[in-house]
C-alpha cells in the first residue's frame, strides 16, 4: 500500500514538472517588461514571484494590491487579467517569474532575460567586390549581436517588401534573377528592437535602355488615336451645346 502511495505521488510530481511551460521574456536594461498570462476564469486572488521573492499580491475583498520591496514604484498589476508590468528593468530582474491565480500555481513560467538592442547593420559582399561578370554574389548582414539575444534577419530588393530569412544572416543573389532591382538592404530584429542597413548597389543591376523606336510606336498606336477620340468628343459636345446657333446659321444660309 505504501509503495502504491509513493508511486502515485511520484507520478503527480512528474506530471507537474512535465506540464510546466517556460517562456522567454526579454527586456532591455532600463526598459519595460509586460507578462500576459491567459486565465479562463474570473480572478479572485493573484500572487507573483520572481526567483521565489514576492513581487505583487492581491486578494479580492480581503487584501488590497501590495507591491513588495524593490518592485515598489515601478510595478503595476491588472487585477482583471493578472497581467504584470515592470519598468526600469535591471540585471537583477533576470530569472524565473511564477504566479498563482485563485490559489493555484500556474504551469506557465516566464524566464526574464536582459538583452541589448541590435546594432545598425551593414551589408557586406562576398567576395569583397562582386563582379558583374560573375553568375552570383554572396551578401552578409553584419553587426555585433553579442548579448542581443535571438536575432532574425530580413532582406529587401530595391523598393520591394521585406523578406524574412529567420536566423540566416547570409544570402546569395543570382545574376539571372537579380538584374532588375537597383539596391539591396537588410534588417536585424530581436524581441526589443529592429534596425535597417543603408542600401548598397546591386552589382547585377541592368539599367533599362531608352529605345526611340518604342517611343514612336507608342505615339503612333496609342497617343494619336487617344487624342483623336478626345478631339472628336470635344467637337461633338460643342456642336450639341451650340446646336440652336448652328440651326439658325443654316437657315440664314438657305434663305440667302
Q: What is the pLDDT of residues 76-100, one digit of tens each?
A: 999 999 999 999 999 999 999 999 9
* Average pLDDT, rounded, for the chain: 86
Cell output for 1: 500500500
How far is it, in rounded angstroms, from Cα 154 to Cα 148?
Answer: 16
- Banded pLDDT at 68 (limits 50, 70, 90): very high
- Banded pLDDT at 238 (limits 50, 70, 90): confident
How far is it, in rounded angstroms, from Cα 85 to Cα 78?
Answer: 8
Domain map of the chain by residue range? 19-111, 122-201
Residues 6+ away with beta carbon under 8 Å from 170 = 126, 138, 139, 140, 141
Pick the closest to residue 92 from 79, 74, 117, 78 (CA basis): 74
Global pTM value: 0.70
Full 3-state SS string of 76-121: EECCCCCCEEECCCCHHHCEEEEEEECCEECCEEEEEEECCCCCCC
CATH numeric code, 19-111: 2.60.40.10
CATH topology of domain 122-201: Immunoglobulin-like (2.60.40)
pLDDT tens-digit profile of 181-211? 999 999 999 999 999 999 999 989 988 876 5
In this chain, the answer to whether the domains covering 19-111 and 122-201 adopt an identical fold is yes
Residues 6+ away with beta carbon under 8 Å from 140 = 123, 124, 125, 126, 169, 170
Amino acid at each position: 500500500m505504501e509503495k502504491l502511495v509513493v508511486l502515485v505521488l511520484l507520478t503527480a510530481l512528474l506530471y507537474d514538472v512535465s506540464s510546466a511551460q517556460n517562456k522567454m521574456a526579454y527586456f532591455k536594461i532600463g526598459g519595460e517588461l509586460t507578462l500576459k498570462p491567459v486565465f479562463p476564469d474570473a480572478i479572485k486572488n493573484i500572487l507573483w514571484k520572481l526567483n521565489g521573492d514576492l513581487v505583487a499580491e492581491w486578494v479580492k475583498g480581503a487584501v488590497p494590491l501590495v507591491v513588495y520591496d524593490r518592485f515598489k514604484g515601478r510595478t503595476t498589476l491588472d487585477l482583471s487579467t493578472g497581467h504584470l508590468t515592470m519598468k526600469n528593468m535591471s540585471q537583477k530582474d533576470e530569472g524565473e517569474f511564477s504566479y498563482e491565480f485563485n490559489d493555484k500555481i500556474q504551469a506557465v513560467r516566464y524566464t526574464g532575460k536582459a538583452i541589448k538592442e541590435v546594432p545598425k547593420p551593414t551589408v557586406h559582399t562576398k567576395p569583397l567586390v562582386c563582379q558583374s561578370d560573375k553568375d552570383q554574389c554572396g551578401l552578409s548582414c553584419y553587426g555585433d549581436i553579442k548579448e542581443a539575444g535571438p536575432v532574425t534577419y530580413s532582406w529587401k530588393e530595391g523598393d520591394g517588401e521585406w523578406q524574412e530569412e529567420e536566423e540566416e544572416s547570409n544570402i546569395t543573389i543570382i545574376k539571372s534573377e537579380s538584374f532588375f532591382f537597383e539596391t539591396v538592404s537588410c534588417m536585424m530584429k530581436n524581441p526589443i528592437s529592429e534596425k535597417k542597413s543603408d542600401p548598397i548597389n546591386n552589382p547585377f543591376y541592368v539599367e533599362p535602355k531608352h529605345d526611340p523606336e518604342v517611343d514612336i510606336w507608342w505615339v503612333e498606336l496609342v497617343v494619336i488615336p487617344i487624342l483623336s477620340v478626345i478631339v472628336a468628343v470635344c467637337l461633338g459636345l460643342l456642336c450639341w451645346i451650340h446646336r440652336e446657333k448652328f440651326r439658325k446659321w443654316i437657315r440664314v444660309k438657305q434663305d440667302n
